[in-house]
A and B are shown apart, each in its own frame.
Chain A
Amino acid sequence: IAGITQAPTSQILAAGRRMTLRCTQDMRHNAMYWYRQDLGLGLRLIHYSNTAGTTGKGEVPDGYSVSRANTDDFPLTLASAVPSQTSVYFCASSEGQDTDTQYFGPGTRLTVL
């Protein structure tokens, strides 16, 4: 593994289903982030984690949950998917929170029907 990986690459999901998007980094970065990107809008922060064992809410957290059991993994769960959650989801990481550059995974394209 080099950098950040995300799985799946893309997914079509029926509304009401539960879905977990996976994110793994091998850079030993402390901070990790989940964003969604929608056409015509900037990246919007869903949840973040400044260090293993801690998480925080971003700009658009409703309908999503995260966990950070260790440094490397930061899964994002949609408990009951709705069509408005159709988007491209990016996971990112940075060495720290305060001044460090964020590095992005390749993204997951999710369609909720």
Chain B
Amino acid sequence: GQNIDQPTEMTATEGAIVQINCTYQTSGFNGLFWYQQHAGEAPTFLSYNVLDGLEEKGRFSSFLSRSKGYSYLLLKELQMKDSASYLCAVRDSNYQLIWGAGTKLIIKP
């Protein structure tokens, strides 16, 4: 079967750095996405990785290792508005997105 694993919940302090991990086992791989979802709202796109390595976009970076079936999302200089769920999704061999259950990130002052 296909599986995406993420921690259920993480807590971090305002101004700090947090890394959210995602491991996957899917039938084929055609890219990995990270989305942010605030409570009661729609998911919004953060990043896309298809090749190994680090993609940096402002305070957010995403890393991919295809050989290890592993990605992480790194959030720097945390702000209270970063409190949200972070969803990892992998596009499989049929070009369908397989979604993890999401990681709820709680930011404390």
Contact = CB atoms under 8 A, between A and B. Distances in A.
A, B assembled together: yes
A58 B96 contact: yes
Interface residues of B, number: 21
Tier of interface size on chain A: 20 to 34
Nearest to B33: A101
A61 interface: no
Interface stretch (B12-20, B42-50, B58-66, B75-83): B42-50
Contacts of B87: 42-43
6 contacts: A42-B4, A42-B87, A43-B97, A44-B99, A90-B43, A97-B95
A91 to B, nearest CB: 9
B30 A99 contact: yes
Contacts, number: 44
A64 interface: no
Contact of B45 (A41, A43, A103): A103
Contacts of A98: 30, 95
Interface string B74-109: 000000000000010100000111111110000000
Nearest to A4: B42
Contact of A40 (B30, B96, B101): B101
Nearest to A41: B101
B26 to A, nearest CB: 12
Interface string A41-77: 1111100100000000011000000000000000000
A44 B69 CA distance: 21
Contacts of B31: 99
